[in-house]
Structure formats: structure tokens, C-alpha cells
Amino acid sequence: MFASPAYAQAAGAAPAGGVASFLSFAPLIFIFVIFYFLLIRPQQKRMKEHRAMIDSVKKNDMIVTGGGIVGKVTRVDEGEVEAEIAPNVRIKLIKGTISEVRPAGAGKPAND
């Protein structure tokens, strides 16, 4: 009752290759380049700097963990760090949880 008959149409000519196909992908390529320079590259740089910072941790450095714990490094192992967070209170941490490393003496308050 409400259906109308469907009529077949002749197929259109195939688009010419080369330039037309490149122009259809140009916006996608442009967007990827923008994402690379604004998001991917800076993130990779930050990750590289963080990895170098974690690898350079040594005894007596002050560290801050991802959970906000501040402590003084007493021992460094392959994948773990032992930190003293209070007098005679030591904890073992995975190196990947370290978010900041302060050189020895940087975390102490200044004497007036």
C-alpha cells in the first residue's frame, strides 16, 4: 500500500585512480600527522625521560611514589627500591611506581 516500486539505475563510471584516491585519504593522513606531533611524540619523550629518571635512582635520593609516599632510598635492586619513610620504617617499592626523584639533600628543609 505504501511501498513504491524500486527501479534499477545504471551504474556510474568508476572514478579515475591516482589523484582522486589520494585526495580522499589526504584528510586522514593530515589528522594522523597532527596527532603524531601533538600527542604521540611528546608522550614518547615523557616516557623516555621518566625511564631515564627511574634508572638513575641511587642510594640517599629522595623519591616520591605514585601514591604520594615520600622516602629516602636505602637500597636499589634490579626492579625494586627500598625506601625509608620514617626512622626505622623501610618499605620495598617497585621502580615503576616512582613518580619523582629528588637528588640527595634536595628534600631537606633549609636551616635558618
CATH number listed for the domain at residues 58-102 = 2.30.30.100
What local confidence, expressed as pLDDT, does residue 46 receive?
94
Nearest residue to 83 (alpha-carbon basis) of 100, 66, 106, 65 = 65
What local confidence, expressed as pLDDT, does residue 112 receive?
41
Grid coordinates of 90:
623501610
Q: Is the pTM of this model over 0.75?
A: no
Distance between CA atoms of residues 57 and 50, nearest Å: 11
For the chain, the structural domain boundaries read 17-55, 58-102
Report mean pLDDT in 10-residue bins for the chain, 112 residues. Answer: 66 63 87 93 94 93 94 94 95 94 67 45
